[in-house]
Amino acid sequence: MPESTLATFSVRRLEIIDPEGNADEALLPDLSGDELRRLYYLLLLTRTFDGRALALQREGRIGTYPSVLGQEAAQVGSAFALAGGEWIFPSFREMGLFFTLGYPIHQLFQYWGGDERGLRAPDGLNIFPVCVSVGTHLPHAAGTALAARIRGERTAVVAYFGDGATSKGDFHEAFNLAGVFRLPVVFICQNNQWAISVPLSAQTASRTLAQKALAYGFDGIQVDGNDLLAVHRATREALEKARSGGGPTFIECLTYRMSDHTTADDASRYRTPEEVAAWRERDPLLRFERFLAKRGLWNEDYAAEMKGKAQGEIDEAVRRFEAIPPPAPGEMYDFVSAELSARQRQQREI
């Protein structure tokens, strides 16, 4: 039998707004001027929080912190597509996601200040605790999607992670489960080019990360992760597909971590200034400002007003965070065991 081609595959790439703010009108999502301005404010709020958190860490007022600088559009754009009711699995760098969902800002300061009570989500928000161990939440996300399928619930699961997680076994196990059972899950990878100090080229020989989904039988798409509207459109389409029984989608958001991995890292030891400068030219906040300006929705006065508003919100959140009393030692026993042992009860009473 002669040699033949069994199958061929392709990977879509989506960009709507270019770095100069020009847009492909045919691809623009249906968002009002008020919604576009809301998205801009969420970008500003995320960046303002990020800068303040870095300052607080340097002052010893919170612990180690992972900057989100440069990745705001991937988070805000995707979160803005959520309809409510989805089950959400964040990793540790999704501050823009939390703000877009309306999560209390002071609670995020509380968590990064070392108080786990900051991750007690408000009622009605189905978001799991921050996952610091890389990729271990992905099988949980697939399992939750399987549970939703068994229960007949018309919902979707959304899992966030970085490019480093795609080198973990958890990633492949979750993708295999999602593909086999056509689960209603959207996997969102913020490919910021670096897994701490390991460049993407040292992690994978794949042309894209999005193509990894093809091996597991479902769609993968790469979007410009600094293009907020491209991320929004791709996420909205993936969620609609998941809810209607069309199965999972993997969205690779190609972006860049413009700061250190965390405040315990020094990225200048493994990245060149030229590389960072090149990506700063593609800053997602500047790109969105240029887009809004071309539509008469942004000017310097408006930006100053919104920056002041964001700074006020962050200042108030810091005041609330630092006014929270420390937890009582006995709280460490809450929600750990169905019943405490005699020794645990004795320890709690001390």
Please give the share of the chain, as a percent, with pLDDT higher than 70. 100
Of 179, 133, 130, 187, the C-alpha closest to 157 is 187
The mean pLDDT of the chain is 96
At 333 the pLDDT is 84
Radius of gyration of the chain (CA): 21
Q: Rounded CA gap, 170 and 136, in Å?
A: 6
- CB contact at 8 A, 200 and 194: yes
Residue ranges and CATH numbers for the domains of the chain are: 17-349 (3.40.50.970)
- Alpha-helical regions (H) of 135-220: 138-151, 169-180
- Which tokens in the block code for residue 102? 């309306």
Instruction: Report, as residue numbers or ranges, the catalytic residues.
Output: 257, 261, 270
Q: Can you tell me the distance from the alpha carbon of 172 to that of 339, in angstroms, rounded to the nearest whole number?
A: 36
pLDDT digits 0-9 by tens, 214-268? 999 999 999 999 999 999 999 999 999 999 999 999 999 999 999 999 999 999 9
Read off the pLDDT of residues 194-218 as tens digits, 9 standing for 90 and up.
999 999 999 999 999 999 999 999 9
Give the tokens for residue 198: 């390991």
Q: How many other CB atoms are found less than 10 A from the CB of residue 125? A: 13
Residues 6+ apart with CB under 8 A from 206: 212
Residue 324 tokens, joined: 């929270």
CA distance 230 to 29: 8
Maximum CA pair distance of the chain? Answer: 79
Torsional class of 245: left (φ above 0), alpha (ψ -120 to 50), beta (otherwise) = left
